[in-house]
Structure 1
Amino acid sequence: MKQELSITDFKVRTTIVVQWGEMDAFQHVNNVNYVRWGETARIDYFKAMGFIINQNPKKMLYAPILGFQSVKYISPVLYPDTIIIGTRTEEIKSDRFVLNSYFFSTQQKRLVALKTHEVVIVDYNKQQKIALPKAVIEDINQLEN
């Protein structure tokens, strides 16, 4: 039997306080907010890896860029609530790494959404995607282990 995930299973966690204005006409949090919250979680993960955020890209050898994202909605979120997002690397490929962000509702005491982020690395000087540098793989392994 597969064990259920808990927020304690994640080394990188992001806390989001749901705002009243994030709800839509159907009285639940609008789907675009999950994308925004996931972006915050992804940046928190990058910072935990050691990437410097808001640095001039031209001064960097390479930088992470979102190549693909998807969100699976499991249960509607309502105001008031606090969402704790646990993010981790699920897969490392030759040209990207795949993060998953798990959204846990403190009101519902359960997983309410899952976001997948495929992250590629770009050489800003050449303006092209590059193979995943060994240093990035090492940073991920150090963070996750």
Structure 2
Amino acid sequence: MKLEPKTGSRLERTVVTGFHRPYLVSSCLQSGLVAVSERGSDTGREPCVKVLGPDWNTLRILGVCSGMGPVLSSPWGLCIDKDGAVLVADWAEQHRVVLYLPEGTGSVIITEGLSSPRGLALLPNGLLVVSDSMHHCIKIYKYK
């Protein structure tokens, strides 16, 4: 959506379809990628993260095929690093942070000490911030 800066009125908008229960969104200014977490459903739709390119087309669907990395059970917070890697806070069955590289398979990078990770943010100095809902805190990890 594009807004008029002074009044906040809508100038234009783009609607991107092809989602089922989209939940949270993250973007990366350097790569132009956008990631959207989907919650899944009782009707057989699996939870996942869709990665969109600058043209709004789906480039990858993460978390549904064990051959490409961990299968997601409840993806919440997510962020994208400058290289296009996607980090996902997955909290339902296993409380963890999963890293999906731009090419190749994904892997779990944090499990210990998390109880209901919900949000993620990357700081410019190479730190990863994780909100840990049930521990009532944020936790900071060295990312790169």
TM-score norm. by structure 1 comes to 0.25
Higher relative contact order (CA 8 A, sep 6+): 1
TM-score norm. by structure 2 comes to 0.25
Q: Which has the higher helix share?
A: 1
Q: Which has the higher strand share?
A: 2
